[in-house]
């Protein structure tokens, strides 16, 4: 592309010239492996059915899984992908997800962007990730969800995040089992509301897959 000639590519993490995400930084992304909460996917000291983060919450999804920790390097990469429309990054992200997570068995849906911000971006980021994963996993991608315009989630506390996305999604008729793809799982408020819309549209089992996940320092507590 002409733009690539005029503005040589640099790694969005370390700023070295070359790939948009260089091989060293790609390898250094903190993979989420090892024990985790069975329900929300938070890393834990040992496997648990429910952790402190999701215990007591009514969750519309059966489980959530993410590939990497949402640390500063990942934040830079995701921000560049979403805000600067660096489309080639999504292939690297999908490679990491496919490497870390087990292949699901059900069709993929995705969380759409806010329609106001969608006009400023090169398509839906989560939709692009879902399509890349669909190719790798050989699974269909179905654009079921629509989203109303609303306030940005970034920077809002948990209770306001939940209120901000309440009723934000509608869905076309959904299959009984579906995998919901998004870029980042922060508090789970967006994923839960989108999963609720899919449930209202006929889904009975919703799994959530994201590239990254915010990790909080909680004491692990197992639930029988």
Higher pLDDT, 117 or 112: 112
**Residues 6 or more apart in contact with residue 122 via CB below 8 angstroms:** 85, 87
The answer to whether position 10 is within a domain reads no
- What is residue 131's predicted lDDT score, i.e. its pLDDT? 97
- What is residue 19's predicted lDDT score, i.e. its pLDDT? 86
The answer to whether position 13 is within a domain reads no
Residues 144-157 have a mean pLDDT of: 70
Q: How confident is the model at residue 219 (pLDDT cuts 50, 70, 90)?
A: very low
The answer to whether position 16 is within a domain reads no
Phi, psi torsion values for 190, nearest 5 degrees? -65, -45
How many CB atoms are closer than 10 A to CB 7?
9
Say whether pLDDT at 5 is over 60.
Answer: no
Q: Which domain holds residue 159?
A: 31-213
- What is residue 165's predicted lDDT score, i.e. its pLDDT? 74
Higher pLDDT, 204 or 117: 204
The answer to whether position 24 is within a domain reads no
Q: Under the phi-then-psi rule, with left for phi > 0, alpha for psi from -120 to 50, and beta for the rest, what region is 147?
A: beta
- What is residue 3's predicted lDDT score, i.e. its pLDDT? 46
The answer to whether position 125 is within a domain reads yes
- What is residue 7's predicted lDDT score, i.e. its pLDDT? 56
% of the chain beyond a pLDDT of 70: 82
Which CATH number do you get for residue 112? 3.40.50
The answer to whether position 4 is within a domain reads no
The answer to whether position 14 is within a domain reads no
Across the chain, what does the average pLDDT equal?
86
Tell me which residue has tokens 């997570």. 101
Domain count, the chain: 1
Strand ranges for the chain from DSSP E: 63-69, 108-110, 145-147, 169-171, 177-185, 205-213
Bridge partners (DSSP) listed for residue 171: 145
pLDDT digits (tens, 9 = 90+) for 33-71: 999 999 999 999 999 999 998 988 999 999 999 999 999
The answer to whether position 6 is within a domain reads no
Tokens of 18: 């070359």
């Amino acid at each position: 592309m002409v733009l690539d000639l005029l503005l040589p590519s640099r790694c969005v993490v370390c700023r070295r010239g070359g790939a948009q995400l260089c091989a060293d930084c790609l390898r250094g992304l903190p993979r989420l492996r090892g024990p985790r909460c069975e329900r929300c996917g938070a890393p834990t000291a040992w496997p648990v059915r429910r952790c402190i983060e999701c215990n007591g919450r009514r969750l519309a999804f059966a489980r959530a899984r993410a590939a990497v920790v949402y640390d500063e390097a990942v934040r830079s990469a995701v921000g560049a992908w979403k805000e600067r429309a660096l489309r080639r990054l999504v292939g690297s992200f999908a490679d990491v997800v496919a490497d870390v997570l087990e292949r699901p068995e059900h069709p993929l849906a995705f969380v759409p962007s806010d329609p106001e911000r969608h006009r400023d971006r090169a398509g839906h980021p989560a939709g692009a990730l879902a399509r890349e994963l669909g190719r790798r996993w050989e699974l269909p991608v179905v654009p079921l969800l629509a989203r109303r315009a609303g306030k940005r989630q970034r920077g809002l506390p948990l209770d306001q995040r939940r209120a901000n996305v309440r009723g934000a999604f509608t869905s076309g008729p959904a299959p009984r089992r579906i995998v919901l793809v998004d870029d980042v799982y922060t508090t789970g408020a967006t994923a839960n509301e989108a999963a609720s819309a899919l449930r209202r549209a006929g889904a009975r089992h919703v799994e959530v897959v994201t590239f990254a996940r915010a990790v909080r320092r909680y004491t692990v507590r197992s639930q029988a």
